[in-house]
Amino acid sequence: MFRSDQDKRDQKTGRIVAVTIAVAALATLFAPAITASLGLGVRYEMLIYLFALAAMGWAVFVACGLWRARNR
């Protein structure tokens, strides 16, 4: 079966969302170890958490857009 260009773009976007979720989850898990090994303060750990939260929010927003586009 031949895939359209839109299907290929959706697949690429889905892969980007999946990688973003994985990286954000790993950053959240390893934030204490990263900041401790670099000798950074708690504020930098919270900054990592904030970036991970923003990445998760972006991923949910894009995933919902993909889901809505596929159901049209």
Mean pLDDT across the stretch 11-33? 96
Q: Would you call 65 helix, strand, or coil by DSSP? A: helix
Reported as a single tens digit per residue, the pLDDT across 47-66 is 999 999 999 999 999 999 99
Q: What does the block give as tokens for 11?
A: 């697949």
User: Over 70: is that where the pLDDT of 41 sits?
Assistant: yes
What local confidence, expressed as pLDDT, does residue 29 receive? 97
In this prediction, residue 2 carries a pLDDT of 61
Contact 35, 42 (CB under 8 A): yes
pLDDT at 71 over 90: no
